[in-house]
Amino acid sequence: MTLVREPERGADPANARSDIPADAPTHLGTEARTTDPYALALRDGGAVYVRRHGHRRQRLELARWCAEPDTADDTMLARCTGPTLDVGCGPGRLAAALSRRGVTALGVDPVPTAVARARTAGATALCRSVFDPLPGEGRWAVALLADGNIGIGGDPGGLLDRIHGLLAPGGLLVVETDPQDVYERFAARVEDDRGSHGGAFRWARVGTPALRRLAPTHHFTVTDTWTHPGRAFATLRRS
């Protein structure tokens, strides 16, 4: 999920300041997963936005997530050469595309409406958080964190540790990073044009330089970085 573009601060993870309230959940609860504006927009269409406290809202790229992979997505898919776990798969465009290419792929997402759309698109998908027990733990060749999903849970280091446990030794993590040099942790919520909004959840923004500094602490090595207009990516090898 690509979030609000704000002026950079705390690009060094060691010095970053967190704006996450103590009571903000790590991920959406079951009720919110089915009734928040994001889930409803996936089902019924319409614009949906994300907002951080005290900041302007930004429209989520729902149409792109529900469309076929674009040329930037193809640069990620080309690096998924073995069984791939698509973390935060959303409506499943990437997991479905990998399946069509003959690559074993499993999407996981905590939003039932997203998982239903992913399955309709032809993806194999489970309605689970990445922090729940998952099939094939320690055996996946590739893990995929697209669309800014390195921010899941608002704790990039903790997420890297979890991905490390999901990958096989030497496995590859393909990450879409923030195009700016930024490292921020915060709470956000999703809202729509009708004034409805979901509960707060934890998220983070991580640029490639910050990810490069963070990776060794969590037993990953950055092996490649690249950009596409408006988007940035990296691959990390599990040590």
Q: Which residues of 99-111 are buried (b: 16+ CB within 10 A; e: fewer)?
A: beeebbbbbbbbb
User: Among 56-60, 143-147, 179-183, 210-214, which is the least confidently predicted range?
Assistant: 56-60
Asked, for residue 210, whether it belongs to a domain, the answer is yes
Model confidence pLDDT, tens digit, residues 5-26: 333 444 666 555 545 444 444 4
Residue range of the domain that includes 189: 13-238
Question: Mean per-residue pLDDT for 116-130?
Answer: 98
Asked, for residue 7, whether it belongs to a domain, the answer is no
Asked, for residue 4, whether it belongs to a domain, the answer is no
Asked, for residue 18, whether it belongs to a domain, the answer is yes
Model confidence pLDDT, tens digit, residues 93-110: 999 999 999 999 999 999
Asked, for residue 190, whether it belongs to a domain, the answer is yes
DSSP letter for 218, please: G
Asked, for residue 3, whether it belongs to a domain, the answer is no
Q: Is the pLDDT of residue 84 over 80?
A: yes
* CA dist list (Å): 50 to 120, 188, 212: 26, 7, 27
Asked, for residue 186, whether it belongs to a domain, the answer is yes
- Considering its fold, how many domains does the chain have in total? 1
Asked, for residue 5, whether it belongs to a domain, the answer is no
- Read off the pLDDT band of 29 (50, 70, 90): very low
Q: What percent of the chain has pLDDT over 70?
A: 85
* pLDDT for residue 19: 52
- What is the reported pTM? 0.87
* pLDDT for residue 14: 56
Model confidence pLDDT, tens digit, residues 33-51: 557 899 999 999 999 999 9
Neighbouring-strand partners of residue 126: 108
Output the domain CATH number for residue 217: 3.40.50.150
